[in-house]
Structure 1
Amino acid sequence: MKIIIANWKNHPATSEEAKELFIAESQLAEKYSNVKTIICPPEEFLSEISQLSTINYKLKTIPGSQDVFWPSPTSPKANLGGQASSSSYGVRYTLVGHSDRRAAGDSDEIINQKIKTALATKVVPILLVGEKAKGENQKAILEEQLAKGLAGLSPEDMDSVLICYEPVWAISTNPEAEPDSSQNTLLAGDTINEFLRSMFRVSRSGILYGGSVTTDNVGDFLKHPEIIGAVVGAASLDPAEFAKLLETVSQI
């Protein structure tokens, strides 16, 4: 089963729009039982979306969080999405280490604490790793991010952690963005899996991809068994476009 994670970032603008979009995309997802669909709305709408999913059992889409909010001097408690402190609202997955959060100041050490917080609340962390510029030493960068981000975890913990390769240079909001290739992602996957085998003595084979995923390119990535899913940004904000993307993935 392939995994599609819709990262809405700071869209849409209102709670009502968010609920309408969630319901629309949940209804679309019902048609594709071979695709696991996770939707990560903005923090301010997460509680309502999660409750909506809990109340309406027909909505098969899984609500997720865009981040884990780690304790600060003014906020002593860590929580998911700022409102859903555990899986009590149905939040079962959370992104950790997204390039936006890294750009905002999240270090690998902070990311490590966020992963541990997610695991402690029985929520699956999805760790995003990747180099900023094309041509950088991909292997060294990935290994450093993995070593620091996963420090202190056990092999058993790794059963509940997903890894997503997110090359920052391929993200469309980057002015100098360049399209990534599935072959480059497969190389990144080899590095990730080799490192995890060395660090945890565990056998892993599947990674997710997150670098400006569209209806046009999702098939090129997910046709490879080693790439088990994708984190989708802009394409997840348009139900019609999202429907095409889910249809493409379901046919793989």
Structure 2
Amino acid sequence: MAATSTSLFSSNLHSLNSQPFSSSLSFRNVHSTLSFPSSKPSRGVVAMAGSGKFFVGGNWKCNGTKDSIRKLVSDLNSATLESDVDVVVAPPFVYIDQVKNSITDRIEISAQNSWVGKGGAFTGEISVEQLKDLGCKWVILGHSERRHVIGENDEFIGKKAVYALSEGLGVIACIGELLQEREAGKTFDVCFQQLKAFADVVPSWDNIVIAYEPVWAIGTGKVATPEQAQEVHAAVRDWLKKNVSAEVSSKTRIIYGGSVNASNSAELAKQEDIDGFLVGGASLKGPEFATIINSVTSKKVVA
């Protein structure tokens, strides 16, 4: 059994940008044994809590040691950050408590994932209640590495979002297409399908930030041009207007992720519908992450 699992993981990891994920992994049995908040309210429930601030999240993924994270937190604590930016970092689970207890209150804590319901006999999972106990305010859900490496599907991700929101966590809801889906002209179809999976179940968009992450640009060094990113962000906002409400469309922040760094963040930030970033590798370097956060000044210049 262990050999089969290892083989599946390796196959998924190496094929991430080469072919659409097709896995025998299924969460239907899990779905059938868990209960979730029932039907959502009508479309009349709209986002009223959006601060409108630029939003920058740092996803540290499966990186770091106690010592390296101590240094990173020290760098962030000493950095001068623009005041009108919401800043969030997502450490590995095992370092959340360390970061929460040492980082400036200016920066909030996110988890990189959460379990789909209440805790219990779910080996290796972390519940929303446990995350709240550690001081987390946000959780990243639907990241491409969860979708295409671990095998989570739209339905499962949507249920995770419902539960996290019901317990008071904000959700960074990730969407994005594979390289061959972009080349086949399916970027909008894929993103809209992933958006619909959230829209069909969430009761409110008050505490949701959408992160568009083209899979082909994550960790590859490739990045969508500012124009390519803006095109998708504008389409996502239009989809929200047509399928949720005009108010949700205007108030929901849509951030970009995909090899964002200090060199390209300013140009990306100038785009009208880019409301911030979800940063991977560059968020592990305190000074560079601070530069990305402060790219909000480019947005101000354009405005």
TM range (shorter): 0.7 to 0.9
Runs of 4+ displaced beyond 6 Å: none
Partner Cα distance (2:107, 2:59) in 1: 13
For 1:11, the aligned partner's letter is N
More strand per residue: 1 or 2?
Answer: 1
- For residue 36 of structure 1, give the secondary structure of its aligned residue in structure 2: strand
2:195 is equivalent to residue 146 of structure 1: yes
Deviation for aligned residue 1:251: 4.8
Q: Which residue of 1 aligns with 2:227?
A: 183
- For residue 4 of structure 1, give the secondary structure of its aligned residue in structure 2: strand
Deviation for aligned residue 1:26: 3.1
Counterparts of residues 22-171 of structure 1 (less than 5 Å): 22-28=73-79, 30-53=80-103, 58-70=104-116, 74-75=121-122, 79-80=127-128, 85-103=130-148, 104-133=150-179, 134-136=182-184, 137-154=186-203, 157-171=204-218
Deviation for aligned residue 1:198: 2.7
* Cα separation, partners in 2 of 1:207 and 1:88, compared to 1, 3 Å: same
Report the number of matched residues.
238
Stretches of structure 1 that go unaligned for 5 or more consecutive residues are none
Q: Which residue of 1 aligns with 2:39?
A: none
* Cα separation, partners in 2 of 1:251 and 1:223, compared to 1, 3 Å: closer
Deviation for aligned residue 1:232: 0.8
* Cα separation, partners in 2 of 1:211 and 1:189, compared to 1, 3 Å: same
Deviation for aligned residue 1:73: 8.4
Contact map agreement 1:6 1:231 (CA 8 A) in 2: yes
Q: Which residue of 2 aligns with 1:232?
A: 279
Deviation for aligned residue 1:92: 1.0
Partner Cα distance (1:43, 1:163) in 2: 22
Deviation for aligned residue 1:148: 1.6
Stretches of structure 2 that go unaligned for 5 or more consecutive residues are 1-52
Partner Cα distance (2:217, 2:261) in 1: 12
Structure 1 stretch 240-249 or stretch 99-108: which is displaced more? 240-249
Partner Cα distance (2:192, 2:198) in 1: 10
* Cα separation, partners in 2 of 1:31 and 1:191, compared to 1, 3 Å: closer
- What TM-score do you get using the length of structure 2 for normalisation? 0.71
Q: Which residue of 2 aligns with 1:5?
A: 57
For 2:144, the aligned partner's letter is S
- For residue 17 of structure 1, give the secondary structure of its aligned residue in structure 2: helix
Contact map agreement 2:223 2:260 (CA 8 A) in 1: no
Contact map agreement 1:34 1:250 (CA 8 A) in 2: no
- For residue 69 of structure 1, give the secondary structure of its aligned residue in structure 2: coil
Q: Deviations over 1:15-46 (max 9, x none)?
A: 24323322321331x53212221110011111
Q: Which residue of 1 aligns with 2:293?
A: 246
Partner Cα distance (2:199, 2:121) in 1: 26
For 1:112, the aligned partner's letter is G
Deviation for aligned residue 1:68: 1.5
Deviation for aligned residue 1:181: 1.3
Structure 1 stretch 69-78 or stretch 87-96: which is displaced more? 69-78
Q: Which residue of 2 aligns with 1:210?
A: 257
Partner Cα distance (1:153, 1:237) in 2: 32
* Cα separation, partners in 2 of 1:186 and 1:244, compared to 1, 3 Å: closer
Q: 1:222 aligns with which of 266, 269, 278?
A: 269
Partner Cα distance (1:178, 1:135) in 2: 15
- What TM-score do you get using the length of structure 1 for normalisation? 0.84
For the aligned residue pairs, the C-alpha RMSD in angstroms reads 2.3
Larger Rg belongs to: 2
Partner Cα distance (2:175, 2:240) in 1: 13
Q: Which residue of 2 aligns with 1:21?
A: 72
Contact map agreement 2:270 2:298 (CA 8 A) in 1: no
Partner Cα distance (1:20, 1:122) in 2: 30
Query: Which fold has the larger relative contact order, with Cα–Cα distance below 8 Å and residues 6 or more apart in sequence?
Result: 2
Q: Deviations over 1:29-78 (max 9, x none)?
A: x532122211100111113322445xxxx531111111122359841886
- For residue 139 of structure 1, give the secondary structure of its aligned residue in structure 2: helix
- For residue 32 of structure 1, give the secondary structure of its aligned residue in structure 2: coil
